[in-house]
């Protein structure tokens, strides 16, 4: 199963639309980056700011499936668990 996490308008940031709009650009970018990293570290295959990016993600998943790719249970690139030297953590990173 492919997983898509929502950084800005999802639970990770936890702000209402009004609170989000009231943030300074610097504060917004800092929180956005932190949310993206936390969600990626949690294993999301994709991290998007909001659902407006979902059509692009679905197109990308369809293309990857058409190429025969199946999702990894989760990317272990940032995990403390060491993976084998024979395979990359996932297609996106192509490294161990």
Predicted local distance difference test score (pLDDT) of residue 90: 52
**What average pLDDT score do residues 4-13 get?**
88
Give the bridge partners for 6, in sequence order: 48
Distances in whole angstroms, Cα of residue 42 to Cα of each of 73, 78, 83, 91, 92: 11, 9, 16, 17, 16
What's the number of CA atoms in the CB half-sphere (13 Å) around residue 81?
A: 9
| Residue 36 to residue 49: CA distance in whole angstroms | 8
pLDDT at 32 over 90: yes
What's the number of CA atoms in the CB half-sphere (13 Å) around residue 77?
A: 16
**What average pLDDT score do residues 58-71 get?**
92
**What average pLDDT score do residues 43-57 get?**
91
pTM recorded for the entire structure? 0.70
**What average pLDDT score do residues 47-53 get?**
91
Domain ranges of the chain: 1-96
**What average pLDDT score do residues 16-38 get?**
93
Fold of 1-96: Rossmann fold (3.40.50)
**What average pLDDT score do residues 51-64 get?**
93
């Amino acid at each position: 199963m492919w997983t898509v996490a929502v950084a800005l308008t999802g639970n990770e940031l936890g702000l209402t639309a009004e609170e989000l709009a009231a943030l300074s650009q610097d504060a917004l970018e800092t929180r956005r980056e932190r949310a993206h990293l936390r969600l990626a570290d949690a294993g999301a295959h994709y991290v998007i700011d909001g659902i407006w990016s979902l059509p692009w993600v679905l197109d990308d998943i369809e293309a990857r499936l058409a190429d025969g790719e199946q999702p990894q249970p989760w990317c272990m690139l940032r995990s403390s668990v060491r993976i084998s030297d024979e395979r990359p953590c996932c297609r996106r990173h192509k490294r161990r």
